[in-house]
Chain A
Amino acid sequence: MSGNRAAIGEVTSGCRVFGAYKLFVGIEGIVPIIHGPVGCYWSNIFFQLAQNQSNLRSGTSALHDRDVVFGTENRLRQAIEAAKRYYHPEVIAILGCCVPALVGEDTELIRKEETLDTIFIDAAGFKGREWEGYEEALLSLMPFIKKGERREKTVNLFGMDAVSPKVRADMVEIRRLLARCGYQVNAVPGVDSTFDQIQKMAEVERNVVFGGCGLRLAEAMETEFGIPYEVVEIPYGFELTRRFLKQVTGVNYEENVMEELKRANAMLHRFYDMPVAVIGDCARVRAMTEFLFNELGCDVRLTASVYGSPLYPETEDDLFEIESKIQELGDELRLIFGTSFQKRVAHNLGIPLIRISHPTYDEISLCQHSPYMGYRGMVVLVEKILNLFLNGYPKEDW
C-alpha cells in the first residue's frame, strides 16, 4: 500500500477532473465543461465513449498558448454559451483543470455573470486524486437538493459512475431486487440520473453508499436533512446480495441461484482453491474478494485497490508493482479480475482477465440484463468464468 498521496510510479487512477467528470456526465441536465486544453477533454470523453457511444453531453474551453498569456475567462464564457446553445442544460458544471488553476482566472466573476446555475470544481490534477474529485463533485450537488416530503421505502444509491463496466446492468438488477423487497430507487448519481431526481434526493428514506464511495454527500445530507445512510458492500454473489437487501430494506429476500448454477454442477467444484487476483476500485475489490473466497472458494492470491473512497483512502498507486506481483505468481494464477490496465500482463501470462472495474476501455456492456451484481449477476459471473476456460483450445505442449 502506498500512503503517499503523490508517489512516483505508473499511476493507476486519474486526477480530480476525471472523478468529477464521470459523475456529472451521468446526470441528465448537468453539462460538465472541461475547462482546460484539448487533451484533458479528449482523455475524459475517451473513457465515457468507451462505455457509451450514444451520449456525450459535455464541452470544453480548449485552452491554448494565447489563453495562458491573455487569460482563460473568455474561452470559458464561450464554452458556457456553446453548452447552453446545444444542450439547454439546467446546470453547468465547470471543471477547472491545471491551466486555469495556474494562470489564476476569476471563475467566480464568470459564475456571477451567468444566469444559469453553475457548479465549479477546482479539479486541477495536482490538487488530488480521482476519487476525491468524485466525492467533491457529488457533494457539490447539495445546494440543488430540495427539502421535500419524505417518500417511504425509497433510497438513493451513491458510489456509481458512468464509466464502470456493467454499471447499467448492475443498477437494473439492484432496482429489481429492491423492488422485490418493496423499495424504489430515486437517484443513482452518475448513472443515467436526471436533474429532477437529484433535486428530489432529500425525499428518500435513506441513502445507500457502496463501499464508502459518496460518503461525504451522505454525511452532509444526514446533517442537513436528517436522512440516514447505510454503507454497504457491493452485492456480488449470494451472501453479499442477501446481506445488502437485509441491510437496506430489512427484508430477508433470497433467490435460489443454484437453480441455474446446477446445470454446471460438475464444473463448479473446480472453483475451489483456484488462485485468482482481484484489482479495481476499493468497493469492487472488497466485495469481489469476499464473494470469490467465501462463496466460490477461490484462493485470492492478490488484491489491489487502485481507486479509493473516504473510508478506504489508501490505494496501490503503481501499476509496475501490481504487474510485478502478478508476474511473480505467474503460472499459479488462473484468473484475474481487474481493469483494462491488466490486459498486457494477462495476455503475456496467458491468464483470462475479467474486467470488473474502471478503467475499462476495451469492453462494452450492452445488455441491461446481464449484470455482475445481485443474484442474476452471480449466475452471469459464474457462466462467464466457466466459458472463458471452456472456450479455450487446450494446450498440447508436452
Chain B
Amino acid sequence: MYTPDGLETVLLRDLARGMHRFSINCKLSGGVALSTGVKNNVTIIHGPRGCAFQQRIPVLRELDAKMVLCSNLDENDIVFGGEAKLADTILKADRTYMPELITVLLTCATGIIGDDVQGVIEDIRDKVRSKVIWADTSGFSHRDLKDSAERLLRDQTESYRHPRSQRVSMIQGCGQEELFKSFVTQLMEPPERYGGVDSRSAFYVMPTRWFGRWWSEYLREIREIFGSVGIRVDCISFNKTNVEEICRLPCYAMNLKGYGRWARIMNEKFGTGFLPDVIEYYNSPFREGIKNFYLDSARILGVEKEIEREVEERLRVMEEALKPYKEIFKGKRLAVLRGWSHWGTPYLVLSQIFNLGFKLVYLDLEYDHVYDWNIDKNVIKDHLDAIREVFNSYGVDADIRIEAGIEEDIEALKQYRPDIVITSFERKWIPHSLGIPAYVPYTFSFYQGITGALLAAKEIYAEYSRQGIKRPPPIYARNDLYPYDQKRFPLPCELMPSVRLWEDVRYVRQ
C-alpha cells in the first residue's frame, strides 16, 4: 500500500518527522497534543503568547489545535505573579466554551516564577462548572538530554535481553507523560465511586499518533480475544475520548498499552495492572510476540489458562491463512533498508521471516545516527550487541549494517540480489531502480497482532506481484542535481551543518 493515511496528513507529518533531525519539541507540545484530543476540553497555556501561538500546531496532530487559550502573561504578570490572570483565563474559558474539562499547561515562564496553580484552581472551583486540572509542561523541565538518551538506551538494551520483564521507561521531554500523570492524580476517580474495579476489564490507550485506518480492525481483534474469556476491552483514543471515560479508567483492571511512568503511578494509586513495552515486542505480528502479549496480560488479569486456548486457536487460523503466502515466499531472500526506527525493528523483521518464510540476507538498521551523538560509546555498543543477539537467538544470521550509505545499499542489493526489500518511502526507489519489489510499511509503527500479520502479508504479496516497477531514480534523488548526505539520505548536504550543530548542542553535559 502506498500509505494508509491521507496525504494532507502525511505531508505535514513527514515535515515534523524530518524536523527531529534538527530539534525536538518541548513538553508543552505533547501536553497540547494530548489535551486537545479530549472532547469538550479547553486547553489553557499559562504563559506568554509565543508559547500558545507556536504550540497551536501540535506535531502529533498535524492540525492547528482548537480551543487553546492563553493567559498571555506580560512583564507585569511575570513580576507580580500570573495567578490573577490565570484565574481570569479559567473563568473566561468556562464562560465562553462551557467545557467539561479545563487543562492548564505550564510554560517555562510560569514554571520558573512558581505560580500556585493548584491554589488558583482551588480558589475558583466554586465559580466554574468544568473540572480543572493542570500539568507542569514547562519546556526546560527535563533531564539532561545526554543522560536521558543513555538511560533510554540502557533500558532498551535490558528489554531486548529480557523482553518479557521490561523496565518502565520514558522519553524525556514529552509532555504527554506529564499530562497523563495529571490525569491519574487529578482527574481519575476512585473506582468505588462507580461500583469498584471490574476485574474482567482492560483498556487500551491510543494517545495521539496511531490513527491509521487499520487500527479499528486491530482493536476489534484484541476485544474479541479477550472477550472470548469474558474480559471487556475498551479503547481510549485521544481524538474522541471524553472526560468521563478518563475519570473512570481506574475501574478497569488493566492498562494494555502501559508505556511510560504514568502507568506505574496509576498502578500504585489504583492497582491498575500494566505491561511495559519499550521495544515494541508485545503483539509484534508473529506467533511469539502475539502469544506473549495475550498470556502476559492475561496473567495480570488472572485468566492466563482460559485465554491460552483462544490465542492458540487464533494463531492456528492465522498460520493457516498465511500458508499460501509462505508457499510463495519460503526461502526467498529479504533485504531491509531502514524503514523503521531501531525500536522494535528486530521483532518486525523477524515477524516477516517467521510468517512468510523469508531468508534475511541484508539488514541496514535505522539507528537515529546515535553513534554521532555525544553519548557513552559503551552504551551504544551494548545496545547494538543486544539487537544482534535478538537476531542470533532466533537463528538469523544476516549481514547487518548500521545506517549504510546509499551507494553501499545499492552495492549490497546487487550482491545479495534479494527477491523483495522492505524499506522506507524515501528509499523505495533504490530497489525499484534495480527491478526489485519494495514494500514500505506504515511510517510510525508497523502493523501489529494477527490483523497486522495478515495485512502485511497481503500487502507484501501485492508489491511482490507488481509488474513494471523498474524505473530510473527520481529527479529528487539525483545526487548530481542536489547533493545529499550518503548516510542520512534524504537529508541534503546543505542542511547537514544544522543537523550536526543540533547534535553537538543537544548532548553536551554541563
Contact = CB atoms under 8 A, between A and B. Distances in A.
Contact of A37 (B18, B139, B498): B139
B27 A39 contact: yes
B15 A50 contact: yes
A144 interface: no
A43 B24 contact: no
Interface in A115-158: 124-127, 129-130
B68 to A, nearest CB: 6
Given A62-B505, A78-B505, A126-B77, A10 B144 contact: no
Interface string B43-58: 0000111111111110
A102 B500 CA distance: 29
A60 B505 contact: yes
Contacts of B505: 59-62, 75, 78-79, 82
Contact of A65 (B26, B69, B85, B143): B143
Contacts of A102: 78, 108-109, 112-113
A85 B73 CA distance: 37
A68 B140 contact: yes
Interface stretch (A13-21, A223-231, A368-376, A382-390): A13-21
Contact of A74 (B49, B68, B510): B510
A6 B89 CA distance: 12
B140 A67 contact: yes
Given A16-B50, A43-B25, A38 B510 contact: no
Contacts of A87: 497, 501
Nearest to A123: B50
Nearest to B74: A6
Interface residues of B, number: 69
Interface string B496-509: 01101110111010
Given A74-B510, A126-B74, A126-B78, A8 B26 contact: no
Given A16-B50, A42-B19, A341-B56, A10 B143 contact: no
A5 B144 CA distance: 35
B141 interface: yes
B357 interface: no
A46 B113 contact: no
A82 B502 CA distance: 9
Nearest to B79: A126
Contacts of A61: 505
A124 B29 CA distance: 19
Contacts of B418: none
A6 B72 contact: yes
B75 A126 contact: yes
Given A8-B70, A66-B144, A125-B49, A44 B497 contact: no
Interface string A355-377: 00001011000000000000000
B449 interface: no
B64 A344 contact: yes
Interface in A73-90: 74-75, 78-79, 82-83, 85-87
B172 to A, nearest CB: 9
Nearest to B66: A344
B392 interface: no
B501 A86 contact: yes
Contacts, number: 210
In this complex, the member of A16, A37, A39, A65 whose beta carbon has the largest number of chain B beta carbons within 10 angstroms is A39
Contacts of B108: 36-37, 97-99, 102
B210 to A, nearest CB: 22
Contact of A39 (B26, B143, B501): B26
Nearest to A41: B23
Contacts of A130: 50, 53
Contacts of B78: 102, 126
Contacts of B25: 38-39, 42-43
A82 B50 CA distance: 26
Given A99-B108, A126-B48, A11 B140 contact: no
Given A11-B52, A75-B510, A344-B63, A103 B112 contact: yes
B50 A17 contact: yes
Interface string A16-59: 11100000000000000000111111111110011001111111
Given A15-B49, A67-B510, A86-B497, A49 B141 contact: no
Interface in B453-510: 492, 494-495, 497-498, 500-502, 504-506, 508, 510
A14 B16 CA distance: 19
Given A38-B139, A58-B498, A68 B112 contact: yes
Interface of A: 5-18, 36-46, 49-50, 53-68, 70, 74-75, 78-79, 82-83, 85-87, 97-99, 102-103, 124-127, 129-130, 317, 320, 340-341, 343-344, 359, 361-362
14 contacts: A10-B56, A18-B53, A40-B50, A45-B22, A46-B19, A54-B494, A59-B501, A64-B142, A75-B505, A75-B510, A98-B108, A102-B112, A340-B64, A361-B12
* Top 8 closest pairs, chain A to chain B, by CB: A39-B26, A15-B50, A43-B54, A125-B48, A125-B50, A86-B497, A37-B139, A6-B74
Given A57-B497, A86-B498, A102-B113, 19 more contacts: A8-B88, A12-B53, A37-B26, A37-B139, A37-B140, A38-B26, A39-B27, A40-B26, A43-B55, A54-B492, A58-B498, A67-B140, A70-B510, A75-B505, A78-B508, A102-B78, A126-B74, A343-B63, A361-B12
Interface of B: 12, 15-16, 18-19, 22-29, 47-57, 63-64, 66-75, 77-78, 85, 88-89, 92, 96, 107-109, 112-113, 139-145, 173, 492, 494-495, 497-498, 500-502, 504-506, 508, 510
